[in-house]
Structure 1
Amino acid sequence: MRSSIQLASLNYALVVAEEGSFLRAARRAGIDHTALSRRIRDLEYAMGTRIFHRHARGVGPTPAGERFLDRLRSVLLELDNTLTLARTGIKDEQQRLSIGSNGLVLAGRALDVIIEFGKCHPNVTVRLIDGSYPEPTAALGGIQVDVTVTSSSRSNGGPFELMLWKDTLAVVAASNHSLANCPVIEWSELRQETLLVRRGEAFLLADAVGNGVQLPAIVEHHVSAGILLRLVGNGLGVALIYDGDANDVPEDAVCRKLRIGGKPIQICNFARWRPDNANPALPIFIAFLRDRYPS
Protein backbone atom coordinates (compact mmCIF):
# COMPACT_ATOMS: atom_id res chain seq x y z
CA MET A 1 0.00 0.00 0.00
CA ARG A 2 2.76 2.43 0.94
CA SER A 3 4.26 2.44 -2.57
CA SER A 4 0.90 3.52 -4.07
CA ILE A 5 0.39 6.49 -1.71
CA GLN A 6 2.22 9.76 -2.36
CA LEU A 7 3.33 12.07 0.42
CA ALA A 8 1.69 15.01 -1.37
CA SER A 9 -1.69 13.26 -1.19
CA LEU A 10 -1.33 12.85 2.58
CA ASN A 11 -0.58 16.55 2.95
CA TYR A 12 -3.57 17.41 0.77
CA ALA A 13 -5.82 15.29 3.02
CA LEU A 14 -4.79 17.39 6.02
CA VAL A 15 -5.45 20.62 4.12
CA VAL A 16 -8.93 19.37 3.10
CA ALA A 17 -9.71 18.47 6.72
CA GLU A 18 -8.64 21.92 7.91
CA GLU A 19 -10.55 23.81 5.18
CA GLY A 20 -13.67 21.59 5.09
CA SER A 21 -13.93 22.18 1.37
CA PHE A 22 -12.17 20.84 -1.72
CA LEU A 23 -12.42 24.24 -3.40
CA ARG A 24 -10.84 26.19 -0.50
CA ALA A 25 -8.23 23.47 0.00
CA ALA A 26 -7.33 23.57 -3.71
CA ARG A 27 -6.88 27.34 -3.59
CA ARG A 28 -4.66 27.04 -0.53
CA ALA A 29 -2.60 24.22 -2.08
CA GLY A 30 -2.36 25.96 -5.44
CA ILE A 31 -3.80 23.12 -7.56
CA ASP A 32 -7.03 22.54 -9.51
CA HIS A 33 -9.89 21.46 -7.24
CA THR A 34 -10.83 18.53 -9.52
CA ALA A 35 -7.24 17.29 -9.37
CA LEU A 36 -7.31 17.58 -5.58
CA SER A 37 -10.61 15.69 -5.38
CA ARG A 38 -9.14 12.95 -7.57
CA ARG A 39 -6.06 12.75 -5.32
CA ILE A 40 -8.24 12.22 -2.24
CA ARG A 41 -10.38 9.65 -4.04
CA ASP A 42 -7.25 7.70 -5.08
CA LEU A 43 -5.97 7.89 -1.50
CA GLU A 44 -9.23 6.48 -0.15
CA TYR A 45 -9.14 3.70 -2.76
CA ALA A 46 -5.57 2.79 -1.83
CA MET A 47 -6.50 2.67 1.87
CA GLY A 48 -9.74 0.79 1.29
CA THR A 49 -11.83 3.16 3.42
CA ARG A 50 -13.52 6.55 3.22
CA ILE A 51 -11.68 9.43 4.83
CA PHE A 52 -14.25 12.17 4.12
CA HIS A 53 -18.02 12.54 3.92
CA ARG A 54 -19.08 14.65 0.94
CA HIS A 55 -22.10 16.88 1.59
CA ALA A 56 -23.67 20.08 0.26
CA ARG A 57 -21.75 22.35 2.65
CA GLY A 58 -18.38 20.76 1.90
CA VAL A 59 -16.54 17.77 3.34
CA GLY A 60 -15.84 16.39 6.80
CA PRO A 61 -13.86 13.41 8.10
CA THR A 62 -15.53 10.09 8.74
CA PRO A 63 -14.88 8.43 12.14
CA ALA A 64 -12.22 6.29 10.49
CA GLY A 65 -10.89 9.36 8.71
CA GLU A 66 -10.69 11.31 11.99
CA ARG A 67 -8.55 8.59 13.56
CA PHE A 68 -6.38 8.39 10.45
CA LEU A 69 -5.85 12.16 10.20
CA ASP A 70 -4.94 12.47 13.90
CA ARG A 71 -2.31 9.77 13.48
CA LEU A 72 -1.15 11.27 10.18
CA ARG A 73 -0.46 14.65 11.81
CA SER A 74 1.81 12.95 14.36
CA VAL A 75 3.61 10.92 11.68
CA LEU A 76 4.27 13.93 9.42
CA LEU A 77 5.47 16.00 12.39
CA GLU A 78 7.88 13.22 13.30
CA LEU A 79 9.05 13.10 9.67
CA ASP A 80 9.73 16.86 9.69
CA ASN A 81 11.72 16.48 12.93
CA THR A 82 13.71 13.59 11.45
CA LEU A 83 14.56 15.60 8.32
CA THR A 84 15.61 18.56 10.44
CA LEU A 85 17.92 16.35 12.47
CA ALA A 86 19.34 14.86 9.28
CA ARG A 87 20.08 18.31 7.85
CA THR A 88 21.70 19.37 11.12
CA GLY A 89 23.77 16.21 11.10
CA ILE A 90 24.94 16.92 7.56
CA LYS A 91 26.04 20.42 8.58
CA ASP A 92 27.89 19.22 11.68
CA GLU A 93 29.39 16.02 10.27
CA GLN A 94 32.87 16.21 8.78
CA GLN A 95 32.50 15.96 5.01
CA ARG A 96 34.94 15.49 2.14
CA LEU A 97 35.14 17.23 -1.22
CA SER A 98 37.55 16.41 -4.05
CA ILE A 99 38.44 19.27 -6.41
CA GLY A 100 40.33 18.57 -9.62
CA SER A 101 41.95 20.84 -12.19
CA ASN A 102 43.41 20.75 -15.68
CA GLY A 103 46.63 22.69 -15.31
CA LEU A 104 47.42 26.31 -14.54
CA VAL A 105 44.18 26.99 -12.71
CA LEU A 106 44.98 25.20 -9.45
CA ALA A 107 47.22 28.00 -8.30
CA GLY A 108 47.00 31.69 -7.59
CA ARG A 109 43.45 33.01 -7.59
CA ALA A 110 41.74 29.61 -7.75
CA LEU A 111 43.79 28.27 -4.88
CA ASP A 112 42.92 31.39 -2.84
CA VAL A 113 39.21 30.70 -3.42
CA ILE A 114 39.57 27.09 -2.30
CA ILE A 115 41.48 28.14 0.81
CA GLU A 116 38.77 30.70 1.63
CA PHE A 117 36.11 28.00 1.24
CA GLY A 118 38.02 25.77 3.66
CA LYS A 119 38.10 28.56 6.24
CA CYS A 120 34.39 29.30 5.85
CA HIS A 121 33.45 25.60 6.03
CA PRO A 122 35.83 23.88 8.44
CA ASN A 123 33.56 20.81 8.50
CA VAL A 124 34.46 20.11 4.84
CA THR A 125 37.82 18.47 4.19
CA VAL A 126 39.02 19.49 0.71
CA ARG A 127 41.24 17.16 -1.31
CA LEU A 128 43.01 18.73 -4.32
CA ILE A 129 43.73 16.59 -7.37
CA ASP A 130 46.07 18.47 -9.68
CA GLY A 131 45.60 16.19 -12.68
CA SER A 132 45.60 17.39 -16.26
CA TYR A 133 43.07 15.97 -18.69
CA PRO A 134 42.65 16.42 -22.47
CA GLU A 135 39.06 17.44 -21.70
CA PRO A 136 38.07 18.95 -18.34
CA THR A 137 34.97 16.75 -18.15
CA ALA A 138 37.13 13.62 -18.27
CA ALA A 139 38.08 14.22 -14.64
CA LEU A 140 34.45 13.80 -13.63
CA GLY A 141 34.17 10.34 -15.12
CA GLY A 142 35.39 8.68 -11.94
CA ILE A 143 34.16 8.99 -8.39
CA GLN A 144 37.46 10.44 -7.17
CA VAL A 145 36.62 14.01 -8.31
CA ASP A 146 33.45 15.82 -7.19
CA VAL A 147 34.02 19.06 -9.08
CA THR A 148 36.63 20.46 -11.44
CA VAL A 149 37.86 24.04 -11.48
CA THR A 150 39.19 24.24 -15.00
CA SER A 151 40.57 26.60 -17.62
CA SER A 152 38.98 26.74 -21.04
CA SER A 153 38.45 29.21 -23.87
CA ARG A 154 34.79 28.22 -24.26
CA SER A 155 31.74 27.16 -22.29
CA ASN A 156 30.07 23.76 -22.53
CA GLY A 157 26.76 25.58 -22.20
CA GLY A 158 25.37 23.10 -19.70
CA PRO A 159 23.45 23.78 -16.48
CA PHE A 160 26.10 22.04 -14.39
CA GLU A 161 28.77 24.59 -15.18
CA LEU A 162 29.57 27.90 -13.51
CA MET A 163 31.76 30.55 -15.12
CA LEU A 164 34.00 31.95 -12.39
CA TRP A 165 36.29 34.60 -13.85
CA LYS A 166 38.31 35.52 -16.93
CA ASP A 167 42.05 36.01 -17.03
CA THR A 168 44.77 36.66 -19.59
CA LEU A 169 47.96 34.71 -20.25
CA ALA A 170 51.40 36.13 -19.50
CA VAL A 171 54.95 34.98 -20.24
CA VAL A 172 57.44 33.99 -17.55
CA ALA A 173 61.12 34.12 -18.54
CA ALA A 174 64.43 34.10 -16.70
CA SER A 175 65.41 37.56 -15.46
CA ASN A 176 68.49 37.50 -17.74
CA HIS A 177 66.52 36.39 -20.80
CA SER A 178 66.47 38.70 -23.84
CA LEU A 179 62.66 38.98 -23.58
CA ALA A 180 62.89 40.21 -19.97
CA ASN A 181 63.42 43.77 -21.18
CA CYS A 182 60.14 43.79 -23.14
CA PRO A 183 57.08 44.93 -21.11
CA VAL A 184 54.81 43.32 -23.73
CA ILE A 185 55.67 40.19 -25.74
CA GLU A 186 54.00 39.25 -29.03
CA TRP A 187 53.22 35.59 -29.60
CA SER A 188 55.41 35.60 -32.72
CA GLU A 189 58.42 36.46 -30.54
CA LEU A 190 58.10 33.05 -28.84
CA ARG A 191 58.60 31.20 -32.11
CA GLN A 192 62.25 30.40 -31.40
CA GLU A 193 61.74 29.73 -27.70
CA THR A 194 61.20 26.48 -25.80
CA LEU A 195 57.86 26.61 -24.05
CA LEU A 196 57.69 24.60 -20.84
CA VAL A 197 54.23 23.31 -19.97
CA ARG A 198 52.69 20.93 -17.49
CA ARG A 199 50.84 17.81 -18.50
CA GLY A 200 47.72 18.67 -20.48
CA GLU A 201 48.45 22.39 -20.82
CA ALA A 202 49.48 22.07 -24.47
CA PHE A 203 45.87 21.17 -25.27
CA LEU A 204 44.63 24.21 -23.37
CA LEU A 205 47.16 26.47 -25.07
CA ALA A 206 46.27 25.30 -28.59
CA ASP A 207 42.60 25.82 -27.75
CA ALA A 208 43.27 29.35 -26.46
CA VAL A 209 45.36 30.71 -29.36
CA GLY A 210 43.12 29.19 -32.02
CA ASN A 211 43.59 27.04 -35.08
CA GLY A 212 46.27 28.00 -37.58
CA VAL A 213 48.51 29.73 -35.03
CA GLN A 214 51.99 28.23 -34.91
CA LEU A 215 53.11 26.96 -31.53
CA PRO A 216 56.75 27.13 -30.38
CA ALA A 217 58.66 24.01 -29.43
CA ILE A 218 56.92 22.54 -26.39
CA VAL A 219 58.43 20.42 -23.63
CA GLU A 220 55.89 18.81 -21.31
CA HIS A 221 56.81 18.21 -17.66
CA HIS A 222 54.85 16.15 -15.13
CA VAL A 223 55.72 18.48 -12.25
CA SER A 224 54.09 21.13 -10.08
CA ALA A 225 53.77 24.76 -11.17
CA GLY A 226 56.45 25.75 -8.65
CA ILE A 227 59.03 23.35 -10.10
CA LEU A 228 58.19 24.44 -13.65
CA LEU A 229 58.88 28.08 -12.75
CA ARG A 230 62.21 27.07 -11.18
CA LEU A 231 63.18 25.49 -14.52
CA VAL A 232 62.26 28.77 -16.22
CA GLY A 233 64.34 30.77 -13.75
CA ASN A 234 67.32 28.60 -14.58
CA GLY A 235 67.05 29.38 -18.29
CA LEU A 236 65.61 26.08 -19.53
CA GLY A 237 62.73 27.76 -21.36
CA VAL A 238 59.78 30.10 -20.92
CA ALA A 239 56.35 29.34 -19.46
CA LEU A 240 52.87 30.81 -19.38
CA ILE A 241 50.85 31.79 -16.33
CA TYR A 242 47.84 33.94 -15.65
CA ASP A 243 48.59 37.66 -15.65
CA GLY A 244 46.91 37.86 -12.23
CA ASP A 245 49.42 35.39 -10.76
CA ALA A 246 52.49 37.55 -11.53
CA ASN A 247 53.28 37.84 -7.82
CA ASP A 248 53.94 34.09 -7.67
CA VAL A 249 56.94 34.33 -10.01
CA PRO A 250 60.29 33.54 -8.28
CA GLU A 251 63.01 36.19 -7.93
CA ASP A 252 65.14 34.77 -10.77
CA ALA A 253 62.29 35.17 -13.29
CA VAL A 254 60.07 37.95 -14.62
CA CYS A 255 56.48 38.07 -15.82
CA ARG A 256 55.57 39.96 -18.99
CA LYS A 257 52.25 40.63 -20.74
CA LEU A 258 51.51 38.40 -23.74
CA ARG A 259 49.67 39.50 -26.87
CA ILE A 260 48.70 37.88 -30.15
CA GLY A 261 48.06 40.38 -32.92
CA GLY A 262 48.10 43.09 -30.27
CA LYS A 263 45.28 41.47 -28.29
CA PRO A 264 45.50 39.57 -24.98
CA ILE A 265 44.91 35.83 -24.93
CA GLN A 266 41.89 35.38 -22.71
CA ILE A 267 41.11 32.25 -20.73
CA CYS A 268 37.89 31.54 -18.83
CA ASN A 269 37.74 29.53 -15.64
CA PHE A 270 34.80 27.24 -14.92
CA ALA A 271 33.53 24.99 -12.17
CA ARG A 272 31.98 21.81 -13.60
CA TRP A 273 30.26 18.93 -11.86
CA ARG A 274 28.07 15.91 -12.55
CA PRO A 275 24.31 16.18 -11.94
CA ASP A 276 24.19 12.70 -10.36
CA ASN A 277 26.79 13.44 -7.69
CA ALA A 278 25.11 12.98 -4.28
CA ASN A 279 28.00 14.27 -2.15
CA PRO A 280 26.32 16.72 0.31
CA ALA A 281 29.47 18.88 0.32
CA LEU A 282 29.14 19.59 -3.42
CA PRO A 283 26.09 21.93 -3.29
CA ILE A 284 27.75 23.77 -0.38
CA PHE A 285 30.82 24.47 -2.55
CA ILE A 286 28.73 25.43 -5.60
CA ALA A 287 26.63 27.83 -3.50
CA PHE A 288 29.87 29.34 -2.15
CA LEU A 289 31.12 29.92 -5.72
CA ARG A 290 27.79 31.34 -6.91
CA ASP A 291 27.84 33.83 -4.05
CA ARG A 292 31.28 35.12 -5.14
CA TYR A 293 30.90 34.82 -8.89
CA PRO A 294 27.26 35.54 -9.79
CA SER A 295 26.66 34.96 -13.49
Structure 2
Amino acid sequence: MASARTTGTTVRPAGARPHDPPPATAWPERARDWAEIQERMLVPLYEAVYDRLEVGPATSVLGLGCRSGLALLLAGERGAQVAGLEPQDELRALARGRRLKVGAGVRPAPDVPRSAHSLVTVFEQLPGAAEPGRLVAEAARLTLRGGHVVLAAWGPPERCESAAVLDVARRMAGRTTARDPFGLSTPGALEDLLAPAGLRPAGSGRVGCPFAYPDLDSAVRGLLSTGLYDAAAEFSGLPLVAKELEEALHPYLRPDGSVRMENVFRYLVAEQPR
Protein backbone atom coordinates (compact mmCIF):
# COMPACT_ATOMS: atom_id res chain seq x y z
CA MET A 1 0.00 0.00 0.00
CA ALA A 2 1.37 3.40 -0.93
CA SER A 3 2.17 5.85 1.84
CA ALA A 4 -0.50 8.31 2.87
CA ARG A 5 2.05 11.14 2.97
CA THR A 6 2.75 13.34 -0.04
CA THR A 7 5.56 15.71 -0.81
CA GLY A 8 6.53 17.96 -3.65
CA THR A 9 6.60 21.51 -4.91
CA THR A 10 4.46 23.41 -7.34
CA VAL A 11 6.14 24.90 -10.42
CA ARG A 12 4.98 28.45 -11.18
CA PRO A 13 5.23 30.50 -14.37
CA ALA A 14 8.34 32.64 -14.81
CA GLY A 15 7.86 36.08 -13.32
CA ALA A 16 4.96 35.08 -11.06
CA ARG A 17 4.94 36.37 -7.49
CA PRO A 18 5.12 33.60 -4.85
CA HIS A 19 1.49 34.11 -3.74
CA ASP A 20 0.01 34.44 -7.24
CA PRO A 21 -2.56 31.68 -7.83
CA PRO A 22 -2.37 29.49 -10.92
CA PRO A 23 -4.40 30.60 -13.95
CA ALA A 24 -7.93 29.22 -14.21
CA THR A 25 -6.80 26.75 -16.88
CA ALA A 26 -3.97 25.30 -14.72
CA TRP A 27 -5.97 22.37 -13.38
CA PRO A 28 -2.93 20.09 -12.98
CA GLU A 29 -1.35 22.71 -10.71
CA ARG A 30 -4.60 23.20 -8.81
CA ALA A 31 -4.86 19.42 -8.30
CA ARG A 32 -1.28 19.25 -7.00
CA ASP A 33 -2.03 22.06 -4.55
CA TRP A 34 -4.95 20.02 -3.25
CA ALA A 35 -2.85 16.88 -2.85
CA GLU A 36 0.22 18.60 -1.42
CA ILE A 37 -1.37 21.29 0.77
CA GLN A 38 -5.10 21.02 1.45
CA GLU A 39 -6.08 17.37 1.55
CA ARG A 40 -4.35 16.60 4.85
CA MET A 41 -6.51 19.15 6.68
CA LEU A 42 -9.36 16.62 6.78
CA VAL A 43 -7.35 13.69 8.15
CA PRO A 44 -8.97 14.01 11.62
CA LEU A 45 -12.38 13.63 9.94
CA TYR A 46 -11.33 10.55 7.97
CA GLU A 47 -9.79 8.89 11.01
CA ALA A 48 -12.77 9.63 13.27
CA VAL A 49 -15.15 8.01 10.77
CA TYR A 50 -12.94 4.97 10.29
CA ASP A 51 -12.53 4.53 14.04
CA ARG A 52 -16.27 4.76 14.64
CA LEU A 53 -17.11 2.21 11.92
CA GLU A 54 -14.14 -0.04 12.75
CA VAL A 55 -12.87 0.03 9.19
CA GLY A 56 -10.56 -2.91 8.55
CA PRO A 57 -10.00 -5.99 6.36
CA ALA A 58 -13.71 -6.83 6.27
CA THR A 59 -14.62 -3.39 4.87
CA SER A 60 -15.02 -2.46 1.23
CA VAL A 61 -14.72 1.34 0.96
CA LEU A 62 -15.77 3.48 -1.99
CA GLY A 63 -14.83 7.17 -1.92
CA LEU A 64 -17.43 9.09 -3.91
CA GLY A 65 -15.66 12.19 -5.17
CA CYS A 66 -12.40 10.90 -3.68
CA ARG A 67 -10.22 13.62 -5.24
CA SER A 68 -6.55 12.57 -4.99
CA GLY A 69 -7.33 9.71 -2.64
CA LEU A 70 -5.74 10.37 0.77
CA ALA A 71 -8.85 9.16 2.61
CA LEU A 72 -8.68 5.90 0.64
CA LEU A 73 -4.99 5.46 1.44
CA LEU A 74 -5.76 5.77 5.14
CA ALA A 75 -8.54 3.18 4.88
CA GLY A 76 -6.23 0.90 2.91
CA GLU A 77 -3.60 1.15 5.64
CA ARG A 78 -6.23 -0.30 7.98
CA GLY A 79 -6.58 -3.31 5.67
CA ALA A 80 -9.78 -2.26 3.88
CA GLN A 81 -10.43 -2.88 0.20
CA VAL A 82 -10.59 0.59 -1.34
CA ALA A 83 -11.71 2.20 -4.59
CA GLY A 84 -12.89 5.61 -5.63
CA LEU A 85 -14.81 7.66 -8.17
CA GLU A 86 -13.49 11.09 -9.17
CA PRO A 87 -14.77 13.11 -12.16
CA GLN A 88 -11.85 15.54 -12.45
CA ASP A 89 -9.11 14.13 -14.67
CA GLU A 90 -6.13 15.68 -12.89
CA LEU A 91 -7.21 14.58 -9.42
CA ARG A 92 -8.04 11.11 -10.71
CA ALA A 93 -4.57 10.86 -12.25
CA LEU A 94 -2.97 11.74 -8.91
CA ALA A 95 -5.06 9.10 -7.15
CA ARG A 96 -4.08 6.49 -9.70
CA GLY A 97 -0.47 7.57 -9.23
CA ARG A 98 -0.92 6.43 -5.63
CA ARG A 99 -1.88 2.99 -7.01
CA LEU A 100 -5.54 3.45 -6.17
CA LYS A 101 -8.39 2.05 -8.24
CA VAL A 102 -10.34 5.15 -9.23
CA GLY A 103 -12.98 5.45 -11.93
CA ALA A 104 -14.11 8.57 -13.74
CA GLY A 105 -17.82 8.74 -12.97
CA VAL A 106 -20.57 7.46 -10.73
CA ARG A 107 -21.34 4.41 -12.82
CA PRO A 108 -19.38 1.15 -12.34
CA ALA A 109 -16.15 1.21 -14.36
CA PRO A 110 -13.35 -1.27 -15.11
CA ASP A 111 -11.14 0.62 -12.63
CA VAL A 112 -13.65 -0.09 -9.81
CA PRO A 113 -14.15 -3.87 -9.72
CA ARG A 114 -17.12 -3.94 -7.31
CA SER A 115 -20.55 -2.51 -8.06
CA ALA A 116 -21.49 -2.07 -4.37
CA HIS A 117 -19.54 -1.51 -1.15
CA SER A 118 -20.03 -1.87 2.59
CA LEU A 119 -19.01 1.77 3.17
CA VAL A 120 -19.46 4.69 0.77
CA THR A 121 -18.00 8.01 1.89
CA VAL A 122 -18.88 11.50 0.66
CA PHE A 123 -16.21 13.50 2.46
CA GLU A 124 -15.59 16.53 0.23
CA GLN A 125 -18.29 16.87 -2.42
CA LEU A 126 -21.39 17.95 -0.51
CA PRO A 127 -20.48 21.56 0.44
CA GLY A 128 -20.12 22.53 -3.22
CA ALA A 129 -22.71 20.20 -4.77
CA ALA A 130 -25.45 21.81 -6.89
CA GLU A 131 -27.78 18.86 -6.18
CA PRO A 132 -26.73 17.19 -2.91
CA GLY A 133 -29.83 14.98 -2.92
CA ARG A 134 -28.78 13.33 -6.17
CA LEU A 135 -25.29 12.78 -4.82
CA VAL A 136 -26.65 11.06 -1.72
CA ALA A 137 -28.95 8.93 -3.87
CA GLU A 138 -25.92 7.77 -5.89
CA ALA A 139 -24.06 6.94 -2.69
CA ALA A 140 -27.02 4.87 -1.53
CA ARG A 141 -27.18 3.04 -4.85
CA LEU A 142 -23.54 2.03 -4.51
CA THR A 143 -23.94 0.72 -0.94
CA LEU A 144 -24.57 -2.91 -0.01
CA ARG A 145 -27.66 -3.79 2.02
CA GLY A 146 -26.73 -3.38 5.65
CA GLY A 147 -23.82 -1.15 4.67
CA HIS A 148 -23.19 2.47 5.53
CA VAL A 149 -22.99 5.85 3.82
CA VAL A 150 -21.07 8.67 5.50
CA LEU A 151 -21.81 12.28 4.62
CA ALA A 152 -19.65 15.18 5.77
CA ALA A 153 -20.14 18.95 5.86
CA TRP A 154 -18.81 22.02 7.63
CA GLY A 155 -19.93 22.49 11.18
CA PRO A 156 -21.73 25.64 12.38
CA PRO A 157 -20.06 28.76 10.95
CA GLU A 158 -19.64 30.20 14.45
CA ARG A 159 -17.42 27.19 15.23
CA CYS A 160 -15.31 27.61 12.08
CA GLU A 161 -12.69 30.33 11.86
CA SER A 162 -12.49 29.70 8.11
CA ALA A 163 -16.04 31.04 7.71
CA ALA A 164 -14.84 34.62 7.19
CA VAL A 165 -12.29 33.42 4.64
CA LEU A 166 -14.86 31.33 2.79
CA ASP A 167 -17.11 34.38 2.62
CA VAL A 168 -14.71 35.75 -0.01
CA ALA A 169 -16.08 33.11 -2.37
CA ARG A 170 -19.63 34.37 -1.88
CA ARG A 171 -18.77 38.08 -2.07
CA MET A 172 -16.68 37.75 -5.21
CA ALA A 173 -19.08 35.49 -7.12
CA GLY A 174 -21.55 38.25 -8.03
CA ARG A 175 -24.85 36.80 -9.16
CA THR A 176 -23.41 33.46 -10.23
CA THR A 177 -24.58 30.19 -8.71
CA ALA A 178 -21.87 29.91 -6.04
CA ARG A 179 -22.85 27.40 -3.37
CA ASP A 180 -22.87 28.35 0.31
CA PRO A 181 -20.30 26.04 1.97
CA PHE A 182 -22.40 26.18 5.14
CA GLY A 183 -25.68 25.38 3.39
CA LEU A 184 -25.74 21.91 4.95
CA SER A 185 -24.52 23.02 8.37
CA THR A 186 -27.91 23.94 9.81
CA PRO A 187 -29.53 21.42 12.20
CA GLY A 188 -31.22 18.59 10.32
CA ALA A 189 -29.92 19.57 6.87
CA LEU A 190 -27.85 16.43 6.35
CA GLU A 191 -30.55 14.22 7.87
CA ASP A 192 -33.12 15.59 5.40
CA LEU A 193 -31.09 14.06 2.55
CA LEU A 194 -31.43 10.49 3.84
CA ALA A 195 -35.08 9.47 3.51
CA PRO A 196 -35.43 10.36 -0.22
CA ALA A 197 -32.38 8.12 -0.84
CA GLY A 198 -33.83 5.24 1.16
CA LEU A 199 -31.31 5.60 3.98
CA ARG A 200 -31.82 5.86 7.72
CA PRO A 201 -29.66 7.72 10.26
CA ALA A 202 -27.22 5.67 12.31
CA GLY A 203 -25.22 8.23 14.26
CA SER A 204 -23.24 11.41 13.83
CA GLY A 205 -20.27 13.27 15.21
CA ARG A 206 -18.23 16.46 15.15
CA VAL A 207 -14.49 16.61 14.57
CA GLY A 208 -11.99 19.43 14.93
CA CYS A 209 -10.10 19.96 11.66
CA PRO A 210 -7.66 22.87 11.99
CA PHE A 211 -6.54 24.41 8.70
CA ALA A 212 -2.81 24.99 9.29
CA TYR A 213 -0.34 26.22 6.67
CA PRO A 214 3.36 27.05 6.86
CA ASP A 215 2.86 30.44 5.20
CA LEU A 216 0.34 32.73 3.53
CA ASP A 217 1.18 31.52 0.02
CA SER A 218 0.37 27.93 0.97
CA ALA A 219 -2.90 29.02 2.60
CA VAL A 220 -4.07 30.87 -0.51
CA ARG A 221 -3.09 28.03 -2.83
CA GLY A 222 -4.62 25.37 -0.60
CA LEU A 223 -7.95 27.15 -0.22
CA LEU A 224 -8.19 27.90 -3.95
CA SER A 225 -7.65 24.19 -4.66
CA THR A 226 -10.89 23.28 -2.85
CA GLY A 227 -13.02 24.44 -5.79
CA LEU A 228 -15.17 26.59 -3.50
CA TYR A 229 -13.74 29.75 -5.10
CA ASP A 230 -14.22 28.72 -8.73
CA ALA A 231 -17.42 30.74 -9.29
CA ALA A 232 -15.79 33.78 -7.71
CA ALA A 233 -12.69 33.39 -9.89
CA GLU A 234 -14.84 33.10 -13.01
CA PHE A 235 -16.84 36.23 -12.13
CA SER A 236 -14.18 38.50 -10.60
CA GLY A 237 -10.93 37.07 -11.95
CA LEU A 238 -8.56 34.78 -10.12
CA PRO A 239 -5.90 37.42 -9.22
CA LEU A 240 -8.49 39.63 -7.51
CA VAL A 241 -10.00 36.69 -5.64
CA ALA A 242 -6.54 35.63 -4.48
CA LYS A 243 -5.81 39.16 -3.26
CA GLU A 244 -9.06 39.30 -1.27
CA LEU A 245 -8.41 35.85 0.11
CA GLU A 246 -4.94 36.86 1.24
CA GLU A 247 -6.35 39.90 3.05
CA ALA A 248 -9.03 37.77 4.73
CA LEU A 249 -6.33 35.43 6.03
CA HIS A 250 -4.29 38.14 7.77
CA PRO A 251 -6.15 37.84 11.13
CA TYR A 252 -5.00 34.20 11.29
CA LEU A 253 -1.31 34.91 10.63
CA ARG A 254 1.00 33.92 13.47
CA PRO A 255 4.26 35.64 14.44
CA ASP A 256 6.29 32.94 12.65
CA GLY A 257 4.42 33.58 9.38
CA SER A 258 2.26 30.46 9.56
CA VAL A 259 -1.53 30.48 9.24
CA ARG A 260 -3.95 28.53 11.44
CA MET A 261 -7.75 28.46 11.60
CA GLU A 262 -9.72 26.26 13.98
CA ASN A 263 -12.68 24.51 12.32
CA VAL A 264 -15.30 21.89 13.09
CA PHE A 265 -16.67 19.40 10.59
CA ARG A 266 -19.75 17.26 11.07
CA TYR A 267 -20.30 13.75 9.73
CA LEU A 268 -23.50 11.74 9.52
CA VAL A 269 -23.57 7.94 9.35
CA ALA A 270 -26.49 6.47 7.43
CA GLU A 271 -27.48 2.83 7.02
CA GLN A 272 -28.73 1.07 3.93
CA PRO A 273 -31.57 -1.14 5.24
CA ARG A 274 -31.23 -4.86 4.67
TM-score under structure 2 normalisation? Answer: 0.31
Whose strand fraction is larger, Structure 1's or Structure 2's?
1
- Bigger Rg, which one: 1
TM-score (norm 1): 0.30
